[in-house]
Amino acid sequence: MTAPARQTLPAARAAGPALLQTASAGGSTGGEFRTVFGRNLIGELRNFVHRPYLVVTMEDLWPLFEHHFDSHLAGVHFVRTLDLDELTAAAERLPAIGSIVGIGGGQAIDVAKFFTWSRRVPLFQVPTAMTTNAPFGHRPLVRTGGKALAIGYAVPEAVYVDFDVIRGAPALLNRSGVCDVLCYHTAHFDWKLAHDSGKEERQWPYDERLVAEARQRFDSVFANLDAIRDGTDEGIRTLMLAHRWGGAAFHNAGWNARHMDGVDHCFLYSLEHVTGKHFIHGQAVGLGLYVGSELQENQPGMILDALHRTGVDIRPEAMGVTWEEAETAMRRLAWYVRYADLWYTIADARPVTDDIVDRIRERLYGTYGPWSP
């Protein structure tokens, strides 16, 4: 979920497949984090994590989980910033600890990774939603000078996916997680396009094996959209296993995210630039995925239908911006990707014309209905 910049770090949230391992239908385990599915997983932590332990979480989540911990709790860190300097100072102030437990969506998971990297203690991660693949990625995403930075490295002892905890998260947070997998669809088109146009990055030549591995995860999620929308055990397992692959794949592919991020993420960054706002990652990527598939003429109807069916509302108003702002982000996309020095995608190859904007608006509101606040 970082930027596909050529000079700086590409999608830190995205992932790549293992180069050597062959993925089976159940998913490659090469370089992927040990993942445990079950129930009452948080309640068991106090009996085995190294003592004394530090819990890293969000202040609003803590009351839900506080009763699961005991007198061996060394402290609780509430995440209030992702600023690199502030986190570095906070890591130095931590009490003596034997392990770290991260509980939360994206930010608490990232800060738990950062502290683990700083203090070199065992890490146990408990994602509370399916928003992104952050729990399954090696590098924490922090901020410095207003920019995202993937600095550090942490491999948890295990990632605990508690079905009941995940189901307790807001539906949109969970459902929007599909977009960070479905966007492989547009990413693959972009990577091939860059290859065929002689514009691919020298260190990331188009690789059919990586594309095929990613496609397996896309297919598994695509086949389970109803279960993911409904938050069934099977739906949770499917999306989290896809995230597990995706989170590790950035590292496993040699810090390459070309098979996972494309114009879909470029649009998100353009929208952030135009509005100065932050978004639920998958929701804004979802709009970028649809816009990108229209630009690519790459099965846009299928993509729009999949997002609608999963219950991910990608109308601009549903993410707190106006249609006009979203349209501006579309029209400025080609300029923005050069300004931000992102990698070559359809955004460079095909201008966003009036015709395309009109078609997107028509099909978007035709599918979801007119916005009524």
- Our CB check for Zn ion shows the closer of 1 and 352 to be 1
At its nearest, how many Å lie between Zn ion and the CB of residue 156?
Answer: 20
Cis peptide before 135 (omega within 30 of 0): no
Taking CB atoms, the residue at the shortest distance from Zn ion is 1
Cβ 195 to Zn ion, closest distance in Å? Answer: 22
The CA distance from 26 to 227, in Å, is 17
Please say whether the beta carbons of 334 and 352 come within 8 A: yes
In the complex, least distance from residue 133 CB atom to Zn ion, rounded to whole angstroms: 8
Burial code (b: 16+ CB inside 10 Å, e: under 16) for 134-156 equals: bbbbbbbbbeeeeebbbbbebeb
* Residue 366: count of CB within 10 angstroms of its CB: 10
Nearer to Zn ion, 121 or 260 (CB): 260
Shortest spacing between CB 3 and Zn ion, in angstroms: 10
Of 121 and 129, the one with the shorter C-beta distance to Zn ion is 129
Residue type, 211: V
Residues that bind Zn ion (CB under 5 A): 1, 13, 180
Least separation in angstroms between residue 259's CB and Zn ion is 13
Q: Locate all alpha helices (DSSP H) within the chain, ordered by sequence.
A: 41-45, 62-65, 84-93, 107-119, 163-167, 171-175, 179-182, 184-196, 208-222, 225-230, 233-252, 263-275, 281-296, 300-310, 323-331, 333-339, 346-349, 354-368
Would you say 180 or 294 has its CB closer to Zn ion?
180
The minimum distance between CB 285 and Zn ion, in angstroms, equals: 5
d(Cα 65, Cα 252) in Å, to the nearest integer?
A: 33
Alpha carbon dihedral 270, 111, 55, 49, in 10-degree steps, equals 120
Tell me the closest approach of the beta carbon of residue 263 to Zn ion, in angstroms: 12
How many other C-beta atoms are found inside a 10 Å radius of the C-beta of residue 64?
14
What is the DSSP secondary structure assignment for residue 36, as one 8-state letter? E
Whose Cβ is closer to Zn ion: residue 207's or residue 261's?
Answer: 261
Closest to Zn ion by CB, 53 vs 336, is 336
Please say which residue, 11 or 42, places its beta carbon nearer to Zn ion. 11
Cβ proximity to Zn ion: between 13 and 258 the closer is: 13
> Going by C-beta distance under 8 Å and a sequence separation of 6 or more, which residues neighbour residue 287?
267, 271, 314, 316, 319, 326
CB of 148 to Zn ion, least distance (A): 11
- DSSP string for 133-166: SGGG-SS-EEEETTEEEE------SEEEEEHHHH
Q: CB nearer to Zn ion: give 176 or 224.
A: 176
Query: Residue 154 region, left (φ>0) first, then alpha (ψ -120 to 50), else beta?
Result: beta
DSSP 5: B
- Taking the complex as a whole, the smallest distance from the CB of residue 264 to Zn ion amounts, in Å, to 8
